[in-house]
């Protein structure tokens, strides 16, 4: 369940720091969030898909580590990205 190229380009354009940025922490967190949202929807339909559940948990852990890295660098950037993605209440 990979992301479509159009969706990736949209995420890149929204979260990149400069025109050729495709791998910064902000972009990675946005990509992971999109994949997590897709996989969550899949698991609601298929609750016994344990390999997808494991992948989901790995992605959540990776996103958590990336957010901790961003938070260590700049609190303002961290607050902005979690607000834009709507991942913490």
Rg (CA), the chain: 14
Task: Domain of residue 66: give its range.
Answer: 51-89
* 76: in domain: yes
Total domains present in the chain: 1
Q: In this model, does residue 89 exceed pLDDT 70?
A: no
Q: What angle do CA 62, 67, 72 make, to 5 degrees?
A: 130
> Is residue 32 a part of any domain in this protein?
no
**Cβ contact 56:43 at 8 Å:** yes
Please check whether residue 78 lies inside any domain of the structure. yes
- Read off the pTM: 0.89
- Residue 70 sits at the vertex; the CA angle it makes with 67 and 80, to the nearest 5 degrees, is 85
pLDDT tens for residues 34-83?
A: 999 999 999 999 999 999 999 999 999 999 999 999 999 999 999 999 99
């Amino acid at each position: 369940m990979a992301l479509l190229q159009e969706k990736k380009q949209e995420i890149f354009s929204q979260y990149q720091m400069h025109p050729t940025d495709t791998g910064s922490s902000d972009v990675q967190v946005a990509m992971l969030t999109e994949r997590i949202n897709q996989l969550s929807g899949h698991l609601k339909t298929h609750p016994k898909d344990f390999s997808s559940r494991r992948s989901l948990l790995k992605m959540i852990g990776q996103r958590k580590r990336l957010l901790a890295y961003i938070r260590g660098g700049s609190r303002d950037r961290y607050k902005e990205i979690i607000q834009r993605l709507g991942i913490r209440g």
